[in-house]
Amino acid sequence: MHIAQPFNIAGVGTAVPECLVTSEELEQTLGLPKGWSEKYSGVRTRYHAEHETNSQLAAQALRQALDRAGLQPKDLNVVISAAATYDYPLPNNSCMIMHELAPEVEGITCLDVDTTCLSFLTGIDYAARLLASGDAQRVAVVSSEIASRGLNPDHKESATLFGDGAAAFILERDPRGQHGLVRQRMQTYPAAAGYTMIRGGGNAKPFRDYPYDPVMHSFHMEGKILLKYGKRILTTFIPEFFADLPLKYDDVDWVLPHQASKTALYLYYKLFPVPEERKLSNLETRGNCIAASLPTLLAEAIQSGNILPGQTCFLVGTAAGLSIGGLLWKI
């Protein structure tokens, strides 16, 4: 199997806020019947940040990854923040991550990518290109998300679905070309852009002219419409992704769909069945952590020994936009 962009994983790390929130607690707060959250969202527990920031969670995850790799912050060439949420409009996320982690370290390139829920896949693709070109020897990709502060409590579906957390991967060049990215693809269907939005807070509807309103300034999605869109584009995207590859979908060791929701995962596995022994999920215990969902799931599976070096992983999901993306990775 040809490795299009070779790299090794030097270290991985994860972080969560201190506050663990059970569905029973949320149901009491939101006035929902007992058992409603787990039944409809599929989430039993999730973490919510009470005092932590995006950059603090990111720095914790990156520090753990550095420790596991036996590295120091100064050993990194590039830090990529791959996330949809952030501490400040300016400066960009990765600058704040390094400010939190090691403000004394100078000269590292700090940049951000944001394709909402697919940001980690985009970040890995960009990191792989930097390594393959020789422009970098060692790159950190960090996804840190705090979704809980952008939720409307009156929108019970999203209020019970999302969680907060962070994950970090440190990638190094692989001169032997035995590990890394086999293929990455992303497609966008902009006619559906308005179905997943936070309408306020940007320059289209600035706070100067539009004071805070929980409807305008909170996450909103048209779930039923998006599921129909997702079903349509998934049915062509995945067959096309594997069409000219020697490794086929049924031969992949592990399939990791974005932990979007209980219904989304059900739809995915109905369209593209996967044996139980090849499935990985943390929706029940983490909720949907936006771009941090997939790297957290992957990192914890690597740390636990479920995913082993040399195995193949197919990461796939959709994102606001509407975008769909997939990444085939030989670990």
Domain limits, the chain:
5-177, 181-330
Confidence (pLDDT) at 133:
94
DSSP 249-275: GGG-SEEEE----HHHHHHHHHHS---
Of 115-129, 191-205, 243-257, 259-273, the poorest mean pLDDT is in: 191-205
What is the CA 296 to chain-centroid distance, rounded? Answer: 8
CA 164 to chain centre: 11
Q: 5-177 in CATH: which number?
A: 3.40.47.10
pLDDT in tens, 31-54: 999 999 999 999 999 999 999 999
Closest to 39 (Cα-Cα) out of 265, 226, 284, 228: 284
Domain 5-177 shares a fold with domain 181-330: yes
Q: Give the distance, in angstroms, between the CA of residue 151 and the centroid of all CA atoms in the same chain.
A: 18
| pLDDT tens-digit series, residues 213-258 | 888 888 888 878 888 888 899 999 999 999 999 999 999 999 999 9
Q: What percent of the chain has pLDDT over 70?
A: 100
pTM of structure: 0.96
Nearest to 151 by CA among 225, 256, 46, 18: 46
**Which of 76-80, 155-159, 275-279 reaches the highest mean pLDDT?**
76-80
**CATH class of the domain at 181-330:** alpha beta
Which is higher by pLDDT, 172 or 152?
Answer: 172
In the chain, the amino acid numbered 322 is: L
